[in-house]
């Protein structure tokens, strides 16, 4: 079962994969071979979006936090340590849209009311913050 929509970037199909641990894999669109696989800490992949040129942005969730990763599209290697999205109003199904100067835009696709979380916004964005 897919946890997020696949993403095509250049000649790669990037897709979340399930198993003993969640992961993200990229496959060549020309011959179908796997180009890379990354575990991202075994966290559940919620959404993928094109990032800056040569990068893909990945939203993951652990038991307690959500994280925003920026990966090199050619190798799957993280460009930097993931950003923790503290108190982000994310539902179970989320779409993420390309990085903007103010940060990526998230859209809650499922129910936005109830589920023990109060009301969730239909759409919001986040800005990078330095420090705690």
- 108 DSSP assignment: E
CATH topology of domain 7-125: Thrombin, subunit H (2.40.10)
pLDDT in 10s for each residue of the chain, 132 residues: 556 889 999 999 999 987 777 889 999 999 999 999 998 877 888 889 888 888 898 888 877 778 888 899 999 998 777 777 666 667 677 777 776 666 677 777 766 544 455 565 555 555 554 444
The upper half-sphere exposure of residue 100, i.e. CA atoms within 13 Å in the direction of its Cβ, equals 10
- Determine the Cα–Cα distance for residues 27 and 85; give it in Å rounded to an integer: 28
Write down the pTM of the prediction.
Answer: 0.77
Beta strands in the chain (DSSP E): 7-9, 12-17, 23-28, 34-38, 44-50, 55-61, 66-72, 83-85, 94-97, 105-108, 123-125
| Whether 56 contacts 71, CB under 8 Å | yes
Residue 64 tokens read as 């307690």
Question: What residues does each domain of the chain span?
Answer: 7-125
């Amino acid at each position: 079962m897919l946890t997020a929509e696949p993403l095509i970037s250049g000649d790669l199909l990037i897709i979340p994969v399930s198993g003993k641990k969640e992961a993200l894999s990229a496959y060549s669109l020309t011959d179908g071979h796997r180009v890379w696989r990354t575990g991202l800490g075994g966290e559940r992949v919620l959404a993928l979006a094109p990032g800056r040129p040569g990068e893909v942005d990945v939203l993951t969730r652990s038991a307690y936090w959500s994280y925003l990763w920026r990966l090199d599209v050619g190798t799957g290697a993280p460009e930097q340590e993931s950003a923790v999205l503290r108190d982000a109003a994310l539902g179970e199904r989320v779409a993420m849209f390309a990085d903007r100067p103010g940060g990526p835009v998230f859209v809650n696709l499922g129910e936005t009311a109830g589920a023990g979380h109060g009301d969730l916004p239909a759409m919001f964005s986040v800005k990078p913050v330095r420090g705690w």
